[in-house]
Each structure stands twice: as structure tokens, then as C-alpha cells.
Amino acid sequence: MRIAIASDHAAFELKALLRDWLIDEGHEVADLGPDRDDRVDYPDFGYLLADVVADGTAERGIALCGSGIGISIAVNRNPALRCALVSEPLSAALAREHNDANCLALGARLTGIDMAKACITAFLETEFGGGRHAGRVEKLSHPTQES
């Protein structure tokens, strides 16, 4: 799978570990930065990640910052993105199955490496359920659409 990953400075170390692990797992990974742990603004990297997933360059995105909150908000500004902030694998799987999430957000200060890997595995291995969820997901990209 083609996966884009981005972070801010607070999640730089976790991003590097996850990038290497994803490559070892056989995925094609685009590391969108930053390339060092100097202070950066998470919205810049969230917007970049969203653009790469929205244009199809990457099939899925992984967004990381200290809490995961700020970067997930930035990613979700793009109407083509459905970024779910999670802290355990069940939420990651449900975000895919029910919400067709195409981006996962994690907080580096709140989530250890093993839990992060478990969340990402669930996110990547779970398919969208479609059916009754499809209409709801469509509304997420078109908020003015009537029922």
C-alpha cells in the first residue's frame, strides 16, 4: 500500500520509527517531513499530508503530533479527507469500517510504539463496510447535502 506519513517536531521520533516499520512490512512510504526535530507548525504538515492523500499519490495517511489533535484538525480541513484520531486498535478498525477513514492520527506523547503499530495495523487491514455507512460517509465530504 502507498502510505504518506507526516508529523510535527513532537512526533518526529515516532514518525521515523513507524516509517521504517511500515517499509519493513512491505509498504511504499512517503515521509512528508519534517526531516529533523526542529520546531515546526503541525498545520503545514497536516495540509501537505491531506493534499497527497486527496490527489491519490498515497492511498492512506498517517498524521502525528504531540497529542494527535492539532494535526488531525488540519488534515480534516480538506473535504476529501476523513482523519480519525485514535488511541487503540478497535477505534482504528471502526474508523475504517464505518467511516472509510483514509487517514489515521496518533499522539506521540500519548501513544507508545507498540500501541501505534497495533492501531496502524488495524487501520490498514480493515476494509470499509459500505452499505448503510456509505451515505453517511458521502455526507462528510458534502456537508450541505440534504438527507
Annotated binding site for D-ribulose 5-phosphate: 8-9, 66-70, 99, 109, 132, 136
Cis peptide before 79 (omega within 30 of 0): no
Pick the catalytic residue from 83, 98, 103, 119: 98
Question: How many helical (H) and strand (E) elements, i.e. helices and strands, does the chain have?
Answer: 6, 5
User: By C-alpha distance, which of 136, 141, 53, 139 is closest to 98?
Assistant: 136
Query: In the block, which residue shows the cell 502507498?
Result: 2
Any idea what DSSP says for residue 127? P
Pick the catalytic residue from 65, 83, 103, 119: 65
State yes or no: is 98 an active-site residue.
yes
State yes or no: is 65 an active-site residue.
yes
Amino acid at 11: A
- Is 7 within 8 Å of 34 (Cβ atoms)? yes
Q: Which residues are annotated as a binding site?
A: 8-9, 66-70, 99, 109, 132, 136
Catalytic residues: 65, 98
